[in-house]
Each structure stands twice: as structure tokens, then as C-alpha cells.
Structure 1
């Protein structure tokens, strides 16, 4: 009787150990799958960038039709010039915001735009002297969606060539909206619509 209980206990311990080993193996497989998924996503994004260079409206593009794609953001030039507040509202209507230049890559990207445009900087009651765009990359003045107390008598930041200049917010300028790009869909990048050999 005692021997039977010991054998059952031994069998239970072996099962428990096998189960523990299986759980560890499954966890290792999950980590491996996660890593492979990240690698696949990065490959799809790089491939989509190459396809985008050839066809700016390729189906893999993670931005809405008509928007430009740069790194992890989408950009759209407004259709007409507006005052700063209307420009900001038009961007918000598109689930976007006025362009913010927060790194050198974005600065280089917008240099290709020939127009001058409003920037997503907080409006100021006081006129500020012009600065180079490079100087404002690390500015704490980038707008944080709070325009309480806004009036047209305030000064708003505008890109003028390679400078940041402040103008009355009621003046009319062009504007560019920006928003975060969607993730590149792997299947839209790596799989043909009609794979070879299929009808």
C-alpha cells in the first residue's frame, strides 16, 4: 500500500517536472516568436519605404491617401492659408496637429517644402525675435493641445525659409498637419495580391 503511494507520488513529481519543462519551452517559443515578429515588422517597414519611393500611394503606405510619409509620421499640406487657430483646428479635424520640428530628421524633411507655414508652437503674448529652426528642436514651446486664453492678438510661430519668425496669429499662412503613421501591414507589403501559380 505504502509502495503504491510512493510510486504515485513519484509519477506525480515526474509529471510536474515534465509540465514545468513544457511551460519553459513554450515561454522560450513565445519569446522567439515575438522576436521574429519584430524582425518581420522591421523588414516590412523597410520594404514598404522602398516601394513608397517608387509609388507614393503604394497600398503598404501607413498614411492616408495624399499624405506624405516620413519615418513614423504622416504629413499633409493644408489646401488654403488660414489664421493659426483655424489651421490648428483643421489639423485636429483630421486627428492630427500642426507640424512640430522635434528632431533633425524632421527638420531636414521639411526643408524640402518650399512653402512657409504655421508651426505647432504655443502662441505667445509677446513678440519674440527670429530664431533658426535648428534652435527650436529641443524647445519646450511645442504646443500641448491647450489654447485656452487664445486671441488673434497673440504671436504664433511660422517657418520662414530656415527661420522661425513670430507673426500675429490672425495673419493667414499655409500650414502642414502631422500625425502618427499606422503600423505597416506586413501582409500588404510581403504578399502579392495574386501569388504566382494561383488564379
Structure 2
């Protein structure tokens, strides 16, 4: 009887131990399941993606830093360039100011030189006049070449080409002179004493005022009656347009023909 109890007890203990072992194995299986290959690949892919994102972020950060450095460098260069441009503009303004000052000084010097030349010309003319009055043997002539001096004026007899009165007047103006205006009988005698060619005519600075029915010089003055004879006055009253000069007589024509110029330049006093 006691042997049967002992057997039963041992058997019970062995069965309980086997059950405990099975339960422990089941617990281990339920608590730590074996990893699946699909999850393993997914985890590896996520890890790779994270690494790539990290590398991309690092690369972007480095590029941002490089671009920032380049922008700062370009900003410094631009600032330096602006300073250089401003300095050049200041230098240009200073040079322009100096140029304006030089121009003003140049104009002042030109005016001074012109004034000195005029004074020199006046002194030369006065000296030449004194020589002409007091010295018979002299070669002084205050007039330009091919011009004749008389009293305070220079006279030019243009005989190389024929011109109308208007063209002769313009030619005299181009030479800084005017057509002859007779102010005195002495000047008239001087003109008539010139060795002019036969049948040669010269324009005078006298024209007909159709509105006022009178003759007038280029400066607007009326010729003095004492300068002309009665015959000449009769010719004046019966003629028009312009006055020309001929050897030994004044002839007033009613038409404008081609004749030579007769210019006079007033010398400074």
C-alpha cells in the first residue's frame, strides 16, 4: 500500500515539472518572438533613409554656409566698388572744378591779351601817324596789307572781281569794315585822287530809302549836302537804289549793276 502511494507521488511531481517546463517555454515564446525578415528589411531601409537625410541636411548646411560666405564676400566687394566709384566721382568733380577755374583763367587771360593787343595797336597807329605827319621818309602803314591809310581809317579797293552792292557790303563786313562813308570833303578828295582804272566803278555805302524819299549811309545818317555839287544833288534826286563812285564824278544809277567794292575800316582812336 505504501509503495503505490510513493509511485503516485513521484509521478505527480514529474508531471508537474513537465507542465512547468512547457509553460516556461510558452512564456519565452510569447515574450520574445523571433524577428521576421520583412521587418528586418524595413528597419534597414528606414535606417538608410535616415542616414541619407542626415547626409543631405549636412550637405545643405555646408552649402548654405558657403553661399552665406560668398554673399558676404560679394557684399564687401560691392561696398568697396561703391566707395571706389564715389571716390572717382569726387575726383571727377574736382577735376571739372579745376577745369572750370582754368577756363575762367583762360578767358581772363584772353581778355587781358586782347586788351593789350588793342593798346599795342593803338600805340602803333599813333606812332605811325606821328611818323607820317613829321617824317617824309618812312615805311610805316598801320593798315593791313593791300589797304591804304588815310586819317583814322584804312581803305581797300577791291578790283579782282565784280560784285553787286549787297555782295560788296557783305564782303566788307567779312573784312571787319564797311562800305565807304564820306564824312568830309577831304575824304572825298582822297577818294577821287586814287589812280582808278578808266571806266571803273566802286560802290559806296549809300542807299536809297524808298519810304523816306532820301539817301542814307549804312549807319542811318543822311549825307551832308556840302559833300555834293548841285549836279550831283540833281542826280541824287532823280535816281534810286545805290550810289557808286567813278573817277572825277559821282554817278547815281537807278539799277543795280556789277561793280567793284570800296571798303573802309575805322581805326581805333
Describe the superposition over 1:44-82 as per-residue Cα deviations: whole angstroms up to 9, x where unpaired.
Answer: 522145668643xx3xx2211111000000000113221
Moved over 6 A (4+): none
Displacement, 1:141?
Answer: 1.6
Instruction: Please name the residue that 1:141 is paired with.
Output: 216
Q: Does 1:97 align with 2:202?
A: no
2:209–2:216 CA contact under 8 A, matched in 1: no
Instruction: Please name the residue that 1:111 is paired with.
Output: 192
Q: Does 1:63 align with 2:63?
A: no
Q: Alignment RMSD, CA only?
A: 3.6
Give 3-state SS (helix, strand or coil) of 1:123's partner. strand
Give 3-state SS (helix, strand or coil) of 1:157's partner. strand
CA distance in 2 between partners of 1:124 and 1:76 (Å): 26
Indicate how the Cα distance of structure 1 residues 92 and 160 shifts in structure 2: closer, same or farther if over 3 A, else same.
same
TM-score (norm 1): 0.51
- 1:1-199 mapped onto 2 (5 Å cutoff): 45-49=129-133, 54-55=138-139, 58=140, 61-78=141-158, 79-113=160-194, 114=196, 115-125=200-210, 141-144=216-219, 155-168=241-254, 170-182=256-268
**Which moved further from structure 2: 105-114 or 166-175?**
166-175
Describe the superposition over 1:8-41 as per-residue Cα deviations: whole angstroms up to 9, x where unpaired.
Answer: xxxxxxxxxxxxxxxxxxxxxxxxxxxxxxxxx8
Displacement, 1:93?
Answer: 0.5
Indicate how the Cα distance of structure 1 residues 161 and 51 shifts in structure 2: closer, same or farther if over 3 A, else same.
same
Displacement, 1:168?
Answer: 4.5
Instruction: Please name the residue that 2:7 is paired with.
Output: none
2:207–2:215 CA contact under 8 A, matched in 1: no
Indicate how the Cα distance of structure 1 residues 63 and 156 shifts in structure 2: closer, same or farther if over 3 A, else same.
same
Flag structure 2 segments of 5+ consecutive residues without an equivalent: 1-124, 221-239
Q: In the comparison of the two structures, how many residue pairs are matched?
A: 124
1:85–1:169 CA contact under 8 A, matched in 2: no
CA distance in 2 between partners of 1:160 and 1:52 (Å): 30
